[in-house]
Amino acid sequence: MSIGGIQSNHTRQVTGVACKLGLKAVTVQEGWVDYNDMVYDKVGNIQLTRIMGGDPRIDPAGFALGIRESRNRALDSGEQEGR
């Protein structure tokens, strides 16, 4: 799992490596910046995450330090799927 801002490149890198190694990758993109593109969830970096085999999730949470609720949701869904 990798968590970053909506346009994060490091989350794409983590996703790419994880998928190349045969791991299931959850990529959480949070709303750290004000970015209001109506189709962003279907194109660009999010689409690249899908093409590489990742599981992108867009979360409206803003930037903050510490354990995020988006992290807990991603972990819970992985456990429910048996991962």
| Torsion region of 63: left, alpha or beta (phi above 0 gives left; psi -120 to 50 gives alpha) | beta
Please provide the distance, in angstroms rounded to a whole number, between the alpha carbons at the two ends of the chain.
12
Residue 20, SS3 per DSSP: helix
42: buried, middle or exposed (CB in 10 Å: 19+, 13-18, 0-12)? exposed
8 is catalytic: yes
Give me the catalytic one of 2, 8, 70, 77: 8
Q: Which residues are catalytic?
A: 8
